[in-house]
A = this chain, B = another copy of it.
Amino acid sequence: MVAQAAGVSPSTVSRLLNGTARVSPEKRATIEVAIEALGFVVNPVASGLAGGRSRCIGVITQALSSPFYGNALLGIEDVLIGANYAPLFVSGHWRPRDEQRCINSLLSRRVDGLIILTPSLPDAELLALARRLPLVVTGRQLTGPGLCSLDFDNHAGAYLATEHLIRLGHRRIAFIKGTASHPDATDRLRGYKAALKAHGIAFDPALTVPGKFIEEGGEQATEHLLASGTAFTAMLAANDQMAYGAALALYRRGLRIPDDVALVGFDDLLGSSYTLPPLTSVRHPIQEIGRQAARAVTALIQGQVCEMQAPAPSLIVRDSCGAAPSVRVSHPV
């Protein structure tokens, strides 16, 4: 270490830099002068090798540019940098294989902890991984040693949205489901059903169509629904992307939102304020979730237990849903 050329032993410099032990004021001053003079910056590679710690946290997201997870990344980045950790962002592309490759790569880089946003790997793998290093996962309910999880309250969100439509007078509310294998999808469906039940509306399977969580899926689901002749006055999509697709399908059929059909989305993507009409949607405080995940992983690293509490979702009401048209009250309920 260069700083030693201007003073003391390398150990002392290291101790000063890391606050590992007390250093006498005089030595401290001498060292600080030398550091300044030499423009010294620690080499994290070397300290990672020697100390076994890298001050890096691996962050696995499924798509780097996902408008949904993007906000979580922002929160994670902010907290991590503040805690003097460097985030390493990688994307798993929703493929367990890629995710495993990312994990291996991060492990070999000796990251101090790992955050996985909605993992695609099975629970057992994650539990095993958590035994090797501190792990935080979102979008899944999981507990174990060295593991901390934070699930969105999808049930509550879907309940909220459905209830809003019911209060507006809608009784025939279609639901566009997400990918069945996705835990978010099933929870959102459950929330929808629960709200119907709570308001004494029978669940009609004919109103539930699959949309694969993408625009095209929402579009096809809506076309399918319209073609089937099933009557409905409102639609709830299990995510905003499917709602965009649904809006296009309705538009092509000459149906107006909200006049002919009310539409509600889920996730409140940035673009949803600028759809025509602006889309009512369920919002998770996703950036806050990222912040919590980042705090959790640093806590785990310090050997603390951590408790995360998913902040409650809220409904952002915009122009895409209005009262049920009274002329359609005659529809079967």
Cβ–Cβ contact A251 & B276, under 8 A: yes
A65-B73 contact given A89-B89, A110-B43, A275-B275, CB 8 Å threshold: yes
| Residues from 56 to 99 in A contacting B, C-beta threshold 8 Å | 63-67, 69-71, 73-74, 77, 86-91
A109 at the interface (CB under 8 A from B): yes
A41-B108 contact given A46-B49, A65-B64, CB 8 Å threshold: yes
A70-B77 contact given A54-B45, A215-B273, CB 8 Å threshold: no
Interface size class on chain A is: 35 or more
Contact of A215 among B63, B108, B215, B274 (CB under 8 A): B274
A297 at the interface (CB under 8 A from B): no
A97-B110 Cα distance, complex, nearest whole Å:
28
A285 at the interface (CB under 8 A from B): no
In terms of DSSP, what is the predominant structure of the interface of chain A? helix
A245 at the interface (CB under 8 A from B): yes
A244 at the interface (CB under 8 A from B): yes
A116 at the interface (CB under 8 A from B): no
Q: Which of chain B's residues have a CB closer than 8 A to the CB of A276?
A: 247-248, 251, 275-276
A277 at the interface (CB under 8 A from B): yes
Q: What would 7 more interface pairs be, CB under 8 Å, given A65-B74, A86-B109, A215-B271?
A: A43-B110, A45-B49, A64-B89, A65-B69, A89-B90, A244-B271, A248-B274
| Residues from 225 to 251 in A contacting B, C-beta threshold 8 Å | 244-245, 247-248, 251
A42 at the interface (CB under 8 A from B): yes
Expressed in whole angstroms, the minimum distance between the Cβ of A171 and any Cβ of chain B is 26
Cβ–Cβ contact B44 & A108, under 8 A: yes
Expressed in whole angstroms, the minimum distance between the Cβ of A279 and any Cβ of chain B is 11
Expressed in whole angstroms, the minimum distance between the Cβ of A265 and any Cβ of chain B is 12
A105 at the interface (CB under 8 A from B): yes
Q: Which of chain B's residues have a CB closer than 8 A to the CB of A271?
A: 215, 244, 271
A322 at the interface (CB under 8 A from B): no
A278 at the interface (CB under 8 A from B): yes
Cβ–Cβ contact A67 & B67, under 8 A: yes
Expressed in whole angstroms, the minimum distance between the Cβ of A63 and any Cβ of chain B is 8
| Residues from 273 to 322 in A contacting B, C-beta threshold 8 Å | 273-278
A48 at the interface (CB under 8 A from B): yes
| Residues from 117 to 170 in A contacting B, C-beta threshold 8 Å | none
Expressed in whole angstroms, the minimum distance between the Cβ of A104 and any Cβ of chain B is 8
A88-B91 contact given A43-B110, A44-B108, CB 8 Å threshold: no
A256-B45 Cα distance, complex, nearest whole Å:
59
Cβ–Cβ contact B64 & A73, under 8 A: yes
Contact of A91 among B44, B46, B66, B77 (CB under 8 A): B77
| List of 4 A-B pairs having minimum Cβ-Cβ separation, nearest first | A65-B70, A244-B274, A276-B276, A89-B89
A207-B274 Cα distance, complex, nearest whole Å:
23
Cβ–Cβ contact A45 & B77, under 8 A: no
Contact of A108 among B42, B74, B248 (CB under 8 A): B42
A236-B134 Cα distance, complex, nearest whole Å:
50
